[in-house]
A and B are shown apart, each in its own frame.
Chain A
Amino acid sequence: MSEGVEERGYGVNQVPPVGHLVVSAIQHVLLMVTSLVLPILFASQVSESSGFAASLIAFSMLAAGVGSIIQSVGLPFIGSRYLCPNVCGPSYFSLSLSAAWVGGIPLMRGMIVIAGLVEMAIAPIVQRLRSVFPTFIVGLVVAMVGVSILAPAVSSFFGLAFREDAIRTADILVGSLSLLVMVLANLWGRRFAKMYCLLIGIVLGWVLSLILIPDYAHDLASARGASLFAVPTIGPAFRGIAFDLKLVIPFVVIAVSGSLKSLGNLLAAQRISTPGLEGTDFGPIRKGLLAYGLSTVLAGLLGGMAVDTSSSNVGLAGATRVLSRWISVAAGVIFVILAFFPKLIAVLSMMPKPVMGASLIFAGSFMVSTGLRQMFSEAWSPKKTFVVGIAFFFGLSTAFLPTLYARAPQIVQTLFTDPLPTATIVAVVLNLLFNLDLVFRRRKNGRGRSNDT
């Protein structure tokens, strides 16, 4: 991204002028709202009332918005101080749904609180994991963060609403043109076109889709019924909090997996925010993970869906070189305000799927390339070839061959979930295994020296 292109934008601690701050924040919010499909889908899956859906979306947005502020504003012991906003997270989607099915929203809330506490407990350990996460594994994790949005990005790009949908030519056209506008504005645009390439691509793609595809205008019409302003109400479904021992292990596993994903996002944010940094500074990463855990707890207490740090927003920041954490704070504030405007939420969440997919691919490409560059930035060795190669094989297999693992033993199903956690776990284990010879050699040399002395 930066090769041959002038390095301009806003540094991580710079406060952009108000106009830029607001417009950049809106650009990030447009990317964040793509995650609102999750609470919408969730509400439809538990088949509750439209009031339930509105409250779930509002509470999820409040949690994600406040989480984004905590992550970036710079409180003393918490928050990474990077541009790394929170969104309604896909990691917990299936499991939250299961909890809601078993014990309703109170159980979902309780289990999300537990998961958040686990994430907060993991945060301090990360600092001690320097040896477990050498630079090339950090690069792999960052690359896999980009890969992990492949499924939602590509299926949205082609306009798919359901698994068996056929792909329409008009959707391909809208998706391709939106992506092309975003990329070309970023590559060839002057400063402002480059800085707001995503916003420009989204608006053009949206207008084009309304012209070409009647379904999207039809969807937009359904937002007419939503009220302009409403305070989220705590309906009967949201009252109470419950726990279930049987769900603790699955939620802990997802909490670890979610933490790994956030670790990847925070590492990527650090990589793009501090390009001159040698190695990894685990201080901000630890604080960032703590903020992530706290946001998850908050989501559980509020009755929203669990949050995730957003890979695509980190990617957007890297692509536009607009890295100011204050933009993340402003985006969080806007997200919180938006939670009180159901009509605006309804309109924004009806962003045509191909436009949504183009945005995710645009942002995801940056994550993949950042990770790969980081991975290969240091001297290579045959050991790394096998660590990375095997981790890629098994990590990507969870995306390419999901049905394969559906009938695997439970332990395999637990460990082989998504590309990111699977590749990370495999890479870490193999790296430790392949370096056992060095450990033995060091011990042997140590004994030899002590014998000599």
Chain B
Amino acid sequence: MMGQSCEGVQGHRPSSRRSRKACAIVLPALVGLLVLVLAIPGCRRAYGDLDLSMYQYRDTRNLVRFVYDAALTVRDEGLGSLESFRSERARFRTSETYLYIYRADGTNLFHAGMEELEGRNLWDVTDKNGKPVFQQVIEALEDANNPHAWVHYSWWEPGRFFSVPKSSCHFKVETPDGEELIVGGGLDYPHEEPEFARILVDDAVDLIEALGQGALLEISNPVSKYNYRDVRVFVFDRDGRTLIAPAINSTFSQTNLLECIDEVGKRPFVQALGELEIADTAWEVFMAKDPYQRRLIRKCLYVRATTLAGDGVYVAAITDLPEPPY
């Protein structure tokens, strides 16, 4: 009955002419959709030689692309490109990031955000926590586990007077004159990419395999690369006892990690160790409480197994995972 009243107002019988008109308008739209489907094989990944699939956030991907583009320019044009960088300084600086170019000895050649650093040598400069930033950049560039040479530290925004967390990526290029230059750029207030934790855990495994017990001192050092922001590489044995604790720079509390449960009652460490029975690496997602959010948030645990003094140990780090926008 209700439907009839509506039909009375709106009812009509479309003619074949109208249908043809409809086709004329709608068919191109449908053809467009079809083209989209057919276009898939033709779609190539942008920056085909630059794999960005490990990054979750587009800000991170954009930064790597931005630095990579600049690195290609420096590689092709050499020191001559510096003039064009300097003349278009604003192009290489946004509110959250800026580009810089260094010689391998730590001398700054171009800084889009802090012009006053140009010409100065920053080899020994440390951040507020004592991290030797440039030396860590050099180390990162030699690190096979770290393809985009990420370094995490505290810095300050141009013109400001308080510290901000920063993560920077770098590319080493050889100019046509044969000089090695370092092109880099960083994000202020960076996102916590799980890839960052992966790099450091893999590095820590390599270090333990190379140095044995001596590696633990370096890994637990608060100003080493293995500790940044709230992320910390830690080590535990098969029984869950910590050799480097995940939350404190001491092992006095001896929380058994295998007994730890998350907010929904799961045992992330037990599950991760189970995964490591059949794989070399384990990513275990678990739930945690954030006092300022109603729903639980996700964190992830990245674990690898190795041996220390003949005993099996596990190297791990915990980091945040991206949250949906609403």
Contact = CB atoms under 8 A, between A and B. Distances in A.
A164 B37 contact: no
Contacts of B44: 217, 221
Contacts, number: 183
A-side binding surface: helix, strand, loop or mixed? helix
Interface string B235-253: 0000000000000000000
Interface in A242-274: 270, 273-274
A217 B2 contact: no
Interface in B1-59: 2-12, 14, 18-19, 21-26, 29-30, 32-33, 36-37, 39-41, 43-47, 56-59
Given A98-B264, A162-B57, A347-B37, A13 B3 contact: yes
Nearest to B6: A11
A343 B38 CA distance: 11
A214 B22 CA distance: 33
B298 A45 contact: yes
Given A193-B25, A220-B39, A321-B10, A163 B5 contact: no
Nearest to B15: A17
B2 A273 contact: yes
Contacts of A270: 2
B292 A403 contact: yes
B4 to A, nearest CB: 7
Interface stretch (B108-116, B133-141, B146-154, B283-291): B283-291
Interface in A140-169: 151-152, 155, 160-166
Given A196-B25, A347-B37, A12 B96 contact: no
Contacts of A321: 10
B59 A166 contact: yes
A8 B12 contact: yes
Contact of A17 (B5, B9, B19): B19
A151 B39 CA distance: 31
A19 B2 contact: no
A98 B297 CA distance: 11
Contacts of B6: 11-13, 273-276, 323
Interface residues of B, number: 60
Contacts of B26: 23, 192, 196, 199
B191 interface: yes
A160 B6 CA distance: 40
A287 interface: no
B36 A218 contact: no
Contacts of B159: none
Given A203-B33, A276-B6, A277-B5, A217 B19 contact: no
A212 interface: no
A311 B263 CA distance: 33
Given A10-B10, A223-B40, A403 B293 contact: yes
Given A162-B57, A276-B5, A17 B14 contact: yes
Nearest to B264: A101
A224 interface: yes
A274 B5 contact: yes
B43 A220 contact: yes
Interface stretch (A50-58, A233-241, A370-378, A405-413): A405-413
A323 B5 CA distance: 13
A289 to B, nearest CB: 17
